[in-house]
Structure 1
Amino acid sequence: MMDNTILLTGITGNVGSAVVNYLKSINIDFIAGVRNIEKSKQKDDSIQYVHFDFEDALTYETALHGVKKIFLVRPPQLTDVRGIFKPFIKKCKEAGVKQIVFLSLLGAEMNPFPPHHKIEKAIVESEIPYTFIRPSFFMQNLSTTHSEDIKERDDLFIPSGKARISFIDTRDIGEIIGRTITEEGHENKAYTITGSEAITYFEVADTMTRLLERKITYSNPPMLKFRKNMIDRGIKREFTTVMMILYFTTKLGMANHVTNTAELLLKRKPRTIEEFIKDHLDVWKCGNLKDRVYLQ
C-alpha cells in the first residue's frame, strides 16, 4: 500500500458514499473498511475493501496497515465511546495515522450529550492531527428518513416548529471531506458546515409543492405524537430518542446559523434546497394516488 493510503469508514451512508464519489472523480486511491467484503463487492467491485468492524478489535490492525489518513464515521447504533472508539483511536496512534477526518455534529463542541462530543475529545487527546466536520441538517434526510411520508402522505412529518435550518447537501459535505483529506492545511481544524441560507420546513414544503406540482404539507406534529408514530412504525426507541433530541435542539434555534465555510472550502456556493429537490424528484413522485391534491 502507498504511504498516503486513505481508509474510509461508513461508505454506505449519505456522506460516505459522497466521499467515495468525490475521491473517484479526482482519481485518488483509497480503501474502504467494511464488515462484509463480498456483500460490498456486489454493490461496487471497483473499490478496494478491507475487513473492518468497530465492534471487533481484532480487525483494527489489518485495516490500519499502511494507512495514513482516515475518514471516521460513527455508526448510528454505536454509542460506547470508551469501549469502542477510544481503543480504535489508540490503535490509530500506534499505527502511525497522520490525520483523522471525523464526521461530527453541528454544535458538538458545546453539547456533551451526543457521542460525537466525546469522540472529538478522544481524538484531540490522542494528539493525532484532526479535522472535524460539523455539518448542519442533511437535505438528504428528506429523500431517505422522511421520503415515505412525502411520497405516500404528502406530508413533512417533522416536529421542528417554526425553526429555521441551514440545510446542506451531503454531496457538498462529501466533497468537503474529500478536499480536507487530500489537500494541505486542514490539520487541527474544526469546520462548521452549513448551506447558504436558513429556511423553515414550511418553506421546504412550499418549494416541494411547486416542484412536485402537488400539495405538500408540513404538519409539524407535537413531539410526543412524533415519538409514538415512529415507534409504531417499528423504529427503535433509541433511534427515535436521538431524532427527538435533534429536532428539539432545532426547535430551540441551534441549527439556524449560517456560515460561509462550505463556500470557502468548495470554492463555490453550496447547493440550495431547490437544486436538491430538483435532483431528487423521482424519490417522491410515486406512491398512492388517493386523496392527492394536484396543482393546475
Structure 2
Amino acid sequence: MADKILVTGMTGNVGNEVAIHLHKSSYPFVAGVRNVEKAQKQFEEQYEYVAFDFERPETFPNAFQGVTKMFLVRPPALANFEKQMKPVLDYAKQAQIQHITFLSLMGIEKNPIPPHYKIEKYIQKSGIPYTFLRPSFFMQNLNQAHVYDIKELNDIYIPSGKAKVSFIDTRDIGEAGAITLMELGHEHKCYTLTGGESIDYYQVADIFSEVLDRKIIYSNPAPLAFRRTMINRGIDKGFANVMVALYLTTKLGMAKKVTPDLEIILGRAPRTVREYTEDHRHFWE
C-alpha cells in the first residue's frame, strides 16, 4: 500500500503548514477535521478532507481508511489523556499505522504535568515508530494572541522578564513535520526544535520598531497584572492561567536553548524573528 498521511490539527498553525508542505511535495495526505464543509471554505479546496474528531470514536474508521502515517496535534482544549487521546492512539495501533509524528513541547521529557508527557510515553509503549517534535516558543503567537497589544498599543505585553527565547517560526515546524513523515530515518527520534538564536523581548521590540517604523515597547508586566488584563478582555480564566504558567517557564530561562535539530532536518537555517516580522507586518499595521 502506498503511503498516505492523516494530518490532524490542520486548522491550526502547524498542522496547516504540514498540509501546505505535503501538497507542494505532491505527497498523498488527508486532512482530518471536525467540520469538512467549514475547512473546505476556509482552506484549500483541492485538499482531501475527512471528518475526524478525537472525542467521537465513530469517526476513526473512515479517517484512518487507507492511511499509513499520522501527524498528531493535541487540540488545546483536550486535557484528559485517558478519555480524549488514548482512544485515538489505540485505534492507530489497531489500524497498523507505521509512523506517528507528534507535535509535543520543548522540555516535556522533564515535565510530567502537560498532557504531552503522557502522550509521548504512550506512543513509545505502543510500539508504533514515532518522531517527537518539541518546539520552542512560536513566533506566530505575536500575530495571534498578542496582535491587539502590538497593533493598537505599540506594546509587547508579555510577562517574561529579561529571559532569552529561541523563537521558532511555525512555517519551519510544519515543514520539518512533513519531512519527518516523507523521509526515512526519523523514526524513534526526539527533536528539540528552536530558531537559530536566543533573544529577549526587548530585542524583539527593537526589531518590530525597525520593521514597522514606529516605536514598539516591551512593557514586561507583572504576571498577576497580565492575568487580570487577559481576564478583563474576556479570556477564559483557565486559559489565562495557562498563559501565565507558560510565560513563567520562559521567565525561568526554560526556552532559551538553541539546538541544531531544525537546521539538520530542513537543510537550511531557520527563519529569524526579523524575517517573520517582515512577512507578517500586515497584522500590526
Report the TM-score range of the alignment, normalised by the length of the smaller protein: over 0.9
Q: Which residue number in structure 2 is paired with residue 149 of structure 1?
A: 149
Please state how far the C-alpha of 1:167 moved relative to its aligned partner.
0.2
Q: Which residue number in structure 1 is paired with residue 9 of structure 2?
A: 10
Provide the C-alpha distance between the structure 2 equivalents of 1:29 and 1:143, rounded to a whole number of angstroms: 31
List gaps (5 residues or longer) in structure 2: none
- What one-letter code is carried by the residue in structure 2 that aligns with 1:3? A
Provide the C-alpha distance between the structure 2 equivalents of 1:124 and 1:169, rounded to a whole number of angstroms: 27
SS of 2:75's partner is coil
Please state how far the C-alpha of 1:256 moved relative to its aligned partner.
0.5
User: What is the percentage of aligned positions where both structures have the same residue?
Assistant: 54
- What one-letter code is carried by the residue in structure 1 that aligns with 2:226? F
Provide the C-alpha distance between the structure 2 equivalents of 1:194 and 1:278, rounded to a whole number of angstroms: 19
- What one-letter code is carried by the residue in structure 1 that aligns with 2:266? L
Please state how far the C-alpha of 1:189 moved relative to its aligned partner.
0.6
Q: Does 1:124 align with 2:124?
A: yes
SS of 2:165's partner is coil
CA displacement, residues 72-115 of structure 1 (integer Å, 9 cap, x when unaligned): 00111000101121111011000010011000000011101111
Q: Does 1:68 align with 2:68?
A: yes
Q: Which residue number in structure 2 is paired with residue 81 of structure 1?
A: 81
Q: For 1:31-180, list aligned pairs within 5 A.
A: 31-43=30-42, 44-180=44-180
Paired positions, count:
284
Please state how far the C-alpha of 1:122 moved relative to its aligned partner.
1.1
Please state how far the C-alpha of 1:149 moved relative to its aligned partner.
0.7
Q: Does 1:250 align with 2:250?
A: yes
CA displacement, residues 5-49 of structure 1 (integer Å, 9 cap, x when unaligned): 100000111111111111111111210001111111112211101
Provide the C-alpha distance between the structure 1 equivalents of 2:172 and 2:40, rounded to a whole number of angstroms: 25
Q: Which residue number in structure 2 is paired with residue 291 of structure 1?
A: none
Q: Does 1:283 align with 2:256?
A: no
Does the aligned pair in 1 maintain the 2:5–2:68 contact within 8 Å? yes
CA displacement, residues 145-185 of structure 1 (integer Å, 9 cap, x when unaligned): 11111001101010000000000111110110010010000
List gaps (5 residues or longer) in structure 1: 286-296
SS of 2:109's partner is coil
CA displacement, residues 183-211 of structure 1 (integer Å, 9 cap, x when unaligned): 00011110000001000000000110111
Runs of 4+ in 1 over 3 A off after TM superposition: none
Q: Which residue number in structure 2 is paired with residue 270 of structure 1?
A: 270
Please state how far the C-alpha of 1:3 moved relative to its aligned partner.
3.3
Q: Which residue number in structure 2 is paired with residue 19 of structure 1?
A: 18
- What one-letter code is carried by the residue in structure 1 that aligns with 2:74? R
SS of 1:243's partner is helix
Deviates more, 1:56-65 or 1:188-197: 56-65
Q: Which residue number in structure 2 is paired with residue 288 of structure 1?
A: none
Does the aligned pair in 1 maintain the 2:11–2:39 contact within 8 Å? no
Provide the C-alpha distance between the structure 2 equivalents of 1:278 and 1:183, rounded to a whole number of angstroms: 31
Please state how far the C-alpha of 1:64 moved relative to its aligned partner.
1.0
Provide the C-alpha distance between the structure 1 equivalents of 2:151 and 2:171, rounded to a whole number of angstroms: 22
- What one-letter code is carried by the residue in structure 2 that aligns with 1:141? N
CA displacement, residues 104-134 of structure 1 (integer Å, 9 cap, x when unaligned): 0000111011111111111111111110000
Q: Which residue number in structure 1 is paired with residue 221 of structure 2?
A: 221
Provide the C-alpha distance between the structure 2 equivalents of 1:179 and 1:214, rounded to a whole number of angstroms: 38
SS of 1:67's partner is coil
- What one-letter code is carried by the residue in structure 2 that aligns with 1:6? I
Provide the C-alpha distance between the structure 2 equivalents of 1:55 and 1:232, rounded to a whole number of angstroms: 31
CA displacement, residues 227-251 of structure 1 (integer Å, 9 cap, x when unaligned): 1111111111121111111100011
Provide the C-alpha distance between the structure 2 equivalents of 1:116 and 1:244, rounded to a whole number of angstroms: 18
Does the aligned pair in 1 maintain the 2:3–2:28 contact within 8 Å? no
